[in-house]
């Protein structure tokens, strides 16, 4: 997959969250999001063991494959390999990209987190296929989300690296348009889709600025 | 490695625990244990992220390789692959052995937990190379250790399966001799080595009944 093709799939990355999805199952919310046009899903059910992630991940694999959407797993590269996900997303406490790259098959996608341009560039040199960049806005979804870099911070990273850069952190449907102006390839959201009253509407609004 | 060769290495599996090792580092306790004759170490630092496990794991890999000892990683198959460990230990909340087997190289060892003979036999059919069986005694080390099966329970499992069976749960140097009489291949311990005032002495006493 070329960076341009990958960028096109990463317009919207729907990250799962069991708590925010309640009383719905994350699989059902993800299914609705994919039907509404999301072309990337990231499995990140905090606190779940590998066996539980495997079970949810297999359902997500089936529905993303059927829709031509990408599936990533947060942190757990082993679960990603076991369910034949398209890739893994690795944060600062997870495996570094280099050691991860050495144990995955050709073409397996690795995304990394960075909040600064030079860090992002370093991760790309080490083999990252895309960069998740934030927090763009203040957020309460992820306790370890780190500092707020704003639209300007996202723009700096997007300008620096040649792989797709996806904004993350506090992004809502109402904010999608201004995020799209930074040069980022797309947005990754947790609450904006998992917690949405109308999932399809949220997905369409988040995707609209890139259409 | 034949089951007999593996059994010989699994006489004593030293499981790491950051808290019990304090104020020493687990790497230092493990190094002393290996020097005293332990030929298997399992990395299980509860609460550590993959990056931290990788760092400790690389040190453990170097010292176990130098001593001809096996290195296993608990749960995190991805970390095990990244550090070129000899194998992984998978508990009931971790990846099942089948999916794990499909993503590992030839010869990679997979251990599984079982407290009943029929469960153990099933895991061996699915590809387990050894079985961790317990809790043999009541233990406070692991909150999720499950029920106490006693020496009789361990003996039933050891009789049932053709792969090495390692007793776990509450095993102390003083109890090693009676565990050896069950037909188990060895013992896995956390506190008995990680928390030992004299690590070398603990290792020698735990190994003595099999000598």
> How confident is the model over A178-194, as pLDDT tens digits?
999 999 999 999 999 99
Is B135 one of the catalytic residues?
A: no
Asked whether the beta carbons of residue B78 and residue A92 sit closer than 8 angstroms, the reply is no
pLDDT of residue A144: 56
Instruction: Compute the distance between CA of residue A190 and CA of residue A38 in angstroms, rounded to an integer.
Output: 13
- Catalytic-labelled residue, pool B9, B11, B39, B44: B44
The larger pLDDT score, comparing residue A9 to residue B210, is at: A9
Residues of A classed as catalytic: 44, 113, 142
B70 within 8 A of B38, measured Cβ to Cβ: no
Mean of the per-residue pLDDT values for chain B? Answer: 96
Give the pLDDT of residue B139: 85
Size of interface A-B (CB pairs under 8 A): 63
Closest Cβ–Cβ partner in B52, B76, B83 for A78: B76
pLDDT digits (tens, 9 = 90+) for A88-135: 999 999 999 999 999 999 999 999 999 999 999 999 999 999 999 999
Residue A120 to chain B, least CA–CA distance (Å): 18
DSSP codes of every residue in B117-134: HHHHHHHHHHT-SEEEEE
Q: For residue A183, what pLDDT is reported?
A: 96
Q: Parallel, antiparallel, or unpaired: how do β-strands B109-114 and B70-74 relate?
A: unpaired
Q: Which of A133, A126, A128 is nearest to A165 (CA)?
A: A133
Chain B residues in contact with A58 by the CB 8 A cut-off are none
Counting residues of chain A whose pLDDT is more than 70, the rounded percentage is 98
Q: How large is the average pLDDT for residues B128-153?
A: 87
Query: Which residues of chain B are within 8 Å of residue A102 when distances are taken between CB atoms?
Result: 82
**Are the C-beta atoms of residues B87 and B108 closer than 8 Å to each other?**
yes
Query: Any chain A CB within 8 A of the CB of B81?
Result: yes
Cα(A40)–Cα(A45) distance, rounded to whole angstroms?
16
H helices within chain A, ranges in order?
3-9, 18-21, 26-35, 50-67, 77-82, 97-101, 117-125, 150-160, 176-180, 191-194, 199-207
Span A131-150, average pLDDT? 84
pLDDT digits (tens, 9 = 90+) for B148-204: 999 999 999 999 999 999 999 999 999 999 999 999 999 999 999 999 999 999 999
pLDDT at A171 over 90: yes
pLDDT over 60 (residue A143)? no
Q: Say how far apart CA A164 and CA B163 lie, in whole Å.
A: 48
User: Could you tell me the pLDDT band of residue B211, with boundaries at 50, 70 and 90?
Assistant: confident
| pLDDT value of residue B111 | 98
Residue A48 has what pLDDT?
95
pLDDT band at A141 (very low <50, low <70, confident <90, very high): low
Q: How confident is the model at residue A76 (pLDDT cuts 50, 70, 90)?
A: very high
Higher pLDDT, B142 or B74: B74
For residue A142, the model assigns a pLDDT of 62
> How high is the ipTM of this complex?
0.94
Mean pLDDT of B115-136: 97
| Position A70 pLDDT exceeds 80 | yes
Lookup: tokens for A89: 């997303």
The mean pLDDT of chain A is 96
- Can you tell me the distance from the alpha carbon of B146 to that of B137, in angstroms, rounded to the nearest whole number? 11
Strands (DSSP E) contained in chain B are 12-15, 40-43, 70-74, 87-90, 109-114, 130-134, 165-168, 186-189
Give the mean model confidence (pLDDT) for residues B76-104: 98
More confident residue, B140 or B162: B162
- pLDDT over 90 for what percent of chain B? 94
Instruction: State the pLDDT confidence band at A211, using cuts at 50, 70 and 90.
Output: confident
For chain A, the farthest-separated pair of C-alpha atoms sits apart, in whole angstroms, at: 42
């Amino acid at each position: 997959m070329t960076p341009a093709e990958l960028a096109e799939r990463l317009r919207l990355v729907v990250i799962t969250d069991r708590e925010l999805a309640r009383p719905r199952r994350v699989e059902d919310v993800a299914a609705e999001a994919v039907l509404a046009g999301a072309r990337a899903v990231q499995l990140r059910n905090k606190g779940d063991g590998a066996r539980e992630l495997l079970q949810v991940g297999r359902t997500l694999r089936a529905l993303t494959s059927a829709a031509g959407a990408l599936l990533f797993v947060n942190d757990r590269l082993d679960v990603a390999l076991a369910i034949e996900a398209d890739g893994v997303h690795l944060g600062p406490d997870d495996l570094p990209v280099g050691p991860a790259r050495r144990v995955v098959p050709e073409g397996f996608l690795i995304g990394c987190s960075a909040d600064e341009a030079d860090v992002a560039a370093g991760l790309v040199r080490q083999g990252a296929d895309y960069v998740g960049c934030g927090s763009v806005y203040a957020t309460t979804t992820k306790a370890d989300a780190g500092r707020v870099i704003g639209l300007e911070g996202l723009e700096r990273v997007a300008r620096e690296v040649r792989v797709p850069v996806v904004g993350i952190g506090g992004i809502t449907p109402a904010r999608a348009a201004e995020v799209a102006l930074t040069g980022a390839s797309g947005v990754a959201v947790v609450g904006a889709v998992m917690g949405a009253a109308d999932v399809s509407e949220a997905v369409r609004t988040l995707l609209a600025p890139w259409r």
